[in-house]
């Protein structure tokens, strides 16, 4: 991946191979999740940079003043209570909020130094570089093969599609389970397999960032651990940002964690960033009392 990123359209000028993963559920110790993952490295360059970002829906102030630097080849977790703006902030990265007519973003979000909301930046091109996996598995009602091939075809991929499909499924730890079923409908897969298929579909277009909005919340514990192990392996090649309500999950997989909270004024909820630091620090020695109260279960 080079530092020169073209985001302007033509018209607009399951195994834990590292040996560090804990396959057992993380116990609570003194009300805190036990941190078992995370290797933050300040030498990694900032790939996505939020600076004083506010998000509005019409006159509703949904998220207030978020400043977060996201470093490459790390997993950054967004945690916090419901309604605190975690998913709104995540969707602002690949401009999914553009699909809501009243939404607007103030402040700056840069990707490799490019302002994602600058005039002439093509949202479709942004999404080719920044893939997304949603909370509920959403495979297309097509074959397993066509699910993977769909995005590259739209993007004008000219290489060997068979090789690309195999490579994407291998990276998503799904190839061995489906290699003899590629022409079957993706809807016949289990929930965990469908989510890994969606991850394979996301990486088939060669992004370098993956956004994951509670990717395991609809899965059983075994499938959840497979997704977590997969994330842990994928971060060797991708920058991952995950929204999760599961603090134990954040402690298991992430390198850095951003804690969001919410202010309620006249019935309206405005999310705000409370604290952002290395995951080990946020779960063992948070700097803000509000963070301490949340991770120890006093609220949220």
**pLDDT score of 153:** 94
In this structure, the number of other CB atoms found within 10 A of the CB of residue 85 comes to: 25
Helix, strand and coil content of the chain, in percent to the nearest 5, comes to: 30, 30, 40
User: Distance of CA 56 to CAs 114, 161, 186, 233, Å?
Assistant: 22, 41, 37, 35
- The rounded distance, in Å, linking the Cα atoms of 197 and 175 is 10
- The rounded distance, in Å, linking the Cα atoms of 156 and 148 is 14
Indicate the pLDDT class of residue 32, thresholds 50, 70 and 90: confident
Q: Which residue, 260, 276, 288, 249, is CA-closest to 71?
A: 276
The maximal CA–CA distance of the chain, rounded, in angstroms, is 57
Q: Which residue has the higher pLDDT, 250 or 34?
A: 250
Question: What is the rounded average pLDDT of the residues 89-94?
Answer: 96
- The rounded distance, in Å, linking the Cα atoms of 108 and 175 is 39
Question: What is the rounded average pLDDT of the residues 273-283?
Answer: 96
Q: Which helix (H) or strand (E) covers residue 284, if one does?
A: helix 279-284
**pLDDT score of 267:** 75
**pLDDT score of 184:** 97
- The rounded distance, in Å, linking the Cα atoms of 272 and 64 is 5
Indicate the pLDDT class of residue 268, thresholds 50, 70 and 90: confident
Question: What is the rounded average pLDDT of the residues 186-211?
Answer: 95
Mean pLDDT of the chain: 89
Q: Is the dihedral of CA 46, 250, 19, 173 positive or negative?
A: negative
Question: What is the rounded average pLDDT of the residues 206-221?
Answer: 92
Can you name the CATH fold of 45-295?
A: Rossmann fold (3.40.50)
Question: What is the rounded average pLDDT of the residues 115-124?
Answer: 94
Q: What is the pLDDT of residues 36-84, one digit of tens each?
A: 877 899 999 999 999 999 999 999 999 999 999 999 999 999 999 999 9
Query: Does the pLDDT value for residue 197 go beyond 70?
Result: yes
Q: Which helix (H) or strand (E) covers residue 210, if one does?
A: strand 209-213
In this structure, the number of other CB atoms found within 10 A of the CB of residue 16 comes to: 16
Domain spans of the chain, in order of start: 45-295
Query: Does the pLDDT value for residue 104 go beyond 90?
Result: yes
**pLDDT score of 8:** 52
Question: What is the rounded average pLDDT of the residues 192-218?
Answer: 94
**pLDDT score of 20:** 44
Pair of tokens at residue 161: 């599609």
């Amino acid at each position: 991946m080079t530092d020169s990123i073209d985001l302007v359209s033509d018209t607009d000028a399951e195994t834990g191979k590292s040996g560090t993963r804990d396959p057992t559920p993380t116990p609570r110790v003194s009300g805190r999740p036990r941190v078992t993952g995370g290797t933050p490295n300040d030498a990694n360059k900032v790939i996505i940079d939020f600076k004083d970002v506010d998000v509005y829906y019409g006159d509703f102030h949904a998220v207030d003043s978020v400043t977060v630097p996201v470093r490459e080849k790390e997993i950054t977790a967004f945690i916090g209570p419901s309604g605190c703006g975690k998913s709104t902030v995540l969707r602002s990265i690949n401009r999914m909020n553009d699909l809501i007519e009243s939404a607007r973003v103030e402040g700056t979000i840069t990707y490799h130094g490019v302002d994602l909301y600058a005039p002439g930046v093509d949202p479709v091109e942004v999404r080719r570089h920044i893939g997304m996996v949603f909370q509920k598995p959403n495979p297309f009602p097509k074959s397993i093969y066509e699910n993977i091939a769909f995005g590259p075809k739209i993007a004008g991929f000219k290489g060997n599609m068979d090789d690309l499909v195999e490579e994407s499924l291998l990276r998503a730890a799904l190839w061995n389970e489906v290699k003899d079923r590629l022409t079957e409908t993706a809807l016949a897969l289990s929930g965990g397999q469908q989510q890994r298929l969606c991850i394979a579909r996301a990486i088939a277009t060669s992004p370098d960032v993956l956004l994951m909005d509670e990717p395991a919340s609809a899965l059983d514990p075994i499938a959840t651990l497979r997704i977590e192990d997969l994330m842990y392996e994928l971060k060797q090649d991708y920058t991952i940002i995950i929204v999760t309500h599961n603090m134990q999950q954040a402690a298991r997989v992430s390198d850095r964690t951003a804690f969001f909270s919410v202010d309620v004024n006249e019935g309206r909820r405005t999310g705000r960033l409370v604290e952002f630091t290395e995951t080990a620090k946020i779960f063992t020695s948070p700097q803000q009392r509000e963070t301490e109260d949340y991770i120890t279960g006093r609220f949220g």
